[in-house]
Amino acid sequence: MTTIDATPGTNKSDSPANPRRRVYRPHTKYIPILATLALVLAMYIGGVANYENFGQPSVIVNLFRDNAVLLVVAVGMTFVILTGGIDLSVGAVISLTTTLTATLLQGGWPPLVVLVLVLLLGSLLGAGMGAVIHFFKVEPFIATLAGLFLARGLALFINQSSIPIRNETWRAISDYRIVLADGVVTKPVAVIAVAVVLIAAAVLAWTRFGRNVYAIGGSADSALLMGLPVGRTRIAVYTLSGFCAALGGVLFSINSTSGWALQGNGLELDAIAAVVIGGVLLTGGSGYVLGTLLGVMVYGLIQTIIIFQGDLNAAWTRIVIGVLLFGFIVLQRLVTRKAK
């Protein structure tokens, strides 16, 4: 039987019967995340050197606040990509969540009931897509594309207009500020996003579920031969991605105090880009949640530098992310070739 070392980024097999096995040496699996860390440091140091007040602690704090939604969604996407899958539905789930949340709150539903309901809905959508992928052997791209159309269609069916949220609880959370230091404050959404990152990192590093995720990404067939619960784990990661997307939608609705069927449009691509730039292999089996955090920070730093510069078009964010994405995909290919 082929054996797998189900630790992050390690996959040991010398069997000639499986020439496509990916074998990562300890000195190569850290290269992508170290490259991302170096990029983050270079961007930050460059910003401090060129722009006044860029080095203020509030700049770093605001990165977490402004990118809380993307960070939460990207964490769920990390689990999916680690298994070798993809989830194109997360942006549409955000739109469905914000629209349904605003509609129910406008109708006088209790906030706690609304919160539980939308998180459960997102999880069920994810579980449904995971079940289709596993039991019917549908490619993740196709299954989650169908989920995208379903969620977006439901959001548009509920309401095509922007719906303001006037619920006192939602507005109180939106207006609440957490004082971190003198002159440095943040919002609850940033704290929630950081908590999600820490929990996800612990799950991947120290639980059997996390080891199963890495093993399936390394080789689903070998994981099945070892008796690992491939189907259950695969469904679980899509359920988790749906939950994170719904939570991202809740945070979006808190930030904007509104719901709209077009909110979150294209955010699935931003999440995938952040995960890849963070060093998670698109083919699965190697990567870290903390790398995803760095990928989101790259995205946020680009936007922050554009704001500080003042005369740059916002389109430069997409241009730079596109260039970086190409670069990190090439880096991944080089690393995997050397590791074989």
| E strand or H helix that includes residue 178 | strand 178-181
309 is written with which tokens?
């510069």
User: Higher pLDDT residue, 76 or 307?
Assistant: 76
Give the alpha-carbon dihedral of 231, 234, 239, 243, to 10 degrees: 160
- Beta strand 258-259 with 184-186 is unpaired
- State the Rg of the chain over Cα: 20
Report how far residue 276's alpha carbon sits from residue 290's, in angstroms, rounded to the nearest whole number: 12
Q: Which CATH architecture has domain 26-339?
A: Orthogonal Bundle (1.10)
The chain-wide mean pLDDT, for the chain, equals: 90
Q: What is the reported pTM?
A: 0.90
Sign of the CA dihedral 106, 190, 233, 325?
Answer: positive
Report how far residue 200's alpha carbon sits from residue 312's, in angstroms, rounded to the nearest whole number: 36
Q: Answer yes or no: are the C-beta atoms of 82 and 280 closer than 8 Å.
A: yes
The pLDDT of residue 4 is above 80:
no
Q: Which amino acid is it at 277? A: I
296 is written with which tokens?
């989101």
Q: Answer yes or no: are the C-beta atoms of 150 and 156 closer than 8 Å.
A: no
92-128 burial code (b ≥16 CB/10 A, e <16): bbbbbbbbbbbbbbeeeeebeebbebbbebbbebbbb
Give φ, ψ of 20 to 5 degrees.
Answer: -95, 5
The pLDDT of residue 329 is above 90:
no
% of the chain exceeding 70 in pLDDT: 91
pLDDT at 67: 96
Give residue 317's pLDDT band: very low, low, confident or very high (50, 70, 90). Answer: confident
pLDDT at 9: 43
Q: Answer yes or no: are the C-beta atoms of 85 and 237 closer than 8 Å.
A: yes
Task: Please write the tens of the pLDDT for every residue from 182-232.
Answer: 888 999 999 999 999 999 999 999 999 999 999 999 899 999 999 999 999
